[in-house]
Amino acid sequence: MKCNYCKQTITRNLTMKEIFLPKKILSEQLCSRCAKKFQLLEKKESCQGCQRQTKKAYCNDCLRWQQLYPNYDFHHEALFSYNQAMQEWFEEYKFKGNYQLRYSFVSFLQSYFKQKKEFIVIPLPISKERMNVRGFNQVEGLLGAAGITYQPYLVRFADGVSQVTKTRNERLQLTQPFELTKEGQKAVSNQNILLVDDIYTTGRTIFHGAQVILENHPAKLYTFSLAR
């Protein structure tokens, strides 16, 4: 079998599970060399709000979000640091359209979401214009590859330039681009919701999505991203 990312042949002894699922593992493995490039986030000495590495209880960004959303008990989790290797991976997956890479972190995502079975998973959407250009929603791709059930209750009614091109201040000033479907408005009420994005930077996109969900009174609302 070959590495899902670098395509080099992986040589190791297969487990019994892998022997009986040969087609599945061909597209869902990273070689040890590639896996080492991606840095798992530490929960020690991290912000209680967004998991940024800090010795303070809350980073400056989360203190700002607490002022803007005083009634929201914000809790975000991520798996990986958005380091150079992860930036390059997202460039290949998200912007160059290598959709096969959605399988790269299957085992990590499955392990995380196994602990969130009582949550309704809602991915952040992309606009119709972005979908026409890219051809896929990168968040839904990751969830689907890992076999995670999700509900498309959020829709994006506003298009815009990719946030990669925006400064930090420009990202924070973005206006609300999301709304819940009618089905979603009923479905999230009094339920545990897990809002999922691919990358957490300033938190602006996540909080826009959270805002429209909070208006419909979920029991809990947590957020998650692959990278932070």
Give dist(CA 226, CA 174) in Å, integer. 22
Helices 138-145 and 106-113, packing angle to 10 deg: 80
Q: Where are the domains of the chain?
A: 1-36, 41-227
Region of 60 (left: φ > 0; alpha: ψ -120 to 50; beta: rest) is: alpha
Q: What is the pLDDT of residues 35-56, one digit of tens each?
A: 999 999 988 889 999 999 999 9
Q: What is the pLDDT of residues 187-208, one digit of tens each?
A: 999 999 999 999 999 999 999 9
Give dist(CA 175, CA 173) in Å, integer. 6
**How confident is the prediction for the chain on average, in pLDDT?**
89
Q: In what order do the strands lie in the sheet with 76-80?
A: 76-80, 220-227, 192-199, 120-123
CATH no. for 41-227: 3.40.50
What is the per-residue pLDDT for 26?
Answer: 47
Nearest to 207 by CA among 70, 41, 39: 70
Whether 161 shows a pLDDT value over 90: the answer reads no
